[in-house]
Amino acid sequence: MKLLFISLLSLLPVLSFGQHQLRAAYFGESITHYGLKVAYDKPFKSWEKSKQSGISIKKEFLYGGSFAAFRHPHHMIGLIVSPEITWRRTNKRGGLFDVAFAPSYFRYFYEGKTYEYNGTDFRKIPLAGRSAFLPTLSVGGGRDLSVNREIPFMWYYRVNVMRQYPYNASSLMRFALELGVVKKF
């Protein structure tokens, strides 16, 4: 199942025709819990709404995939793979607002040495960690520089709210900040 999920994500760039976007961003809980996120987005529905005053507002739905890696020093290294669906609104000056949902696969590895007791002695466990389901809801904003200027870039920020299942015998709420740029093709 995991291999099928990763294979489908890797086919997204091959299936893209027309406009698409690449994102690169800082991704982390804070300055000390830092990481990197890269993503691919493609619009599948886009429309413009013009008001009587002549103001044009663009709205679009995007789909894509993302990969994030972050480090919690002296504790763990986390990897997140996810498909994403995003609704984005861009105003006449290029200001944007977006909301995204991502049902993510989360895998983390403990940074320290982990041992297992097998009855007589201890055995070191390589790449000890755990997998989890991490549904994510993101809300953000930014600026599209291609609206007033002919620059095919956007900068953006997002606040991510994530719920990790399982975490011990329950679940864990996680928060992350995302600050990055988008290159349009």
Is residue 159 pLDDT above 90, yes or no?
yes
Is residue 62 pLDDT above 70, yes or no?
yes
Residue 131 lies in a domain: yes
User: 92, 119 in Cβ contact below 8 A?
Assistant: no
pLDDT class for 183, splitting at 50, 70, 90? very high
- Comparing 24-28, 61-65, 115-119, the range with the smallest average pLDDT is 115-119
**How many structural domains does the chain have?**
1
Listed in sequence order, the residues at least 6 apart from 78 whose beta carbon sits closer than 8 Å to its beta carbon are: 35, 68, 69, 70, 71, 72, 106, 107, 108, 109
End-to-end CA distance of the chain: 32
The mean pLDDT of 39-58, rounded to a whole number, is 85
Residue 6 confidence (pLDDT): 59
Residue 88 lies in a domain: yes
Residue 46 lies in a domain: yes
Residue 45 lies in a domain: yes
Residue 14 lies in a domain: no
pLDDT class for 9, splitting at 50, 70, 90? low
Residue 156 lies in a domain: yes
Give the mean pLDDT of the chain. 88
The mean pLDDT of 78-94, rounded to a whole number, is 94
Looking up residue 31, the CATH number of its domain turns out to be: 2.40.160.20
Is residue 4 pLDDT above 80, yes or no?
no
Residue 88 domain boundaries: 2-9+19-113+121-184
User: 26, 45 in Cβ contact below 8 A?
Assistant: no
Per residue, what are the HEC states of 61-122? EEEEEEEEEEEECCCEEEEEEEEEEEEEEECCCCEEEEEEEEEEEEEEEECCCCEEECCCCE
The more confident residue out of 100 and 51 is 100
| Full-model pTM | 0.84
Residue 160 lies in a domain: yes
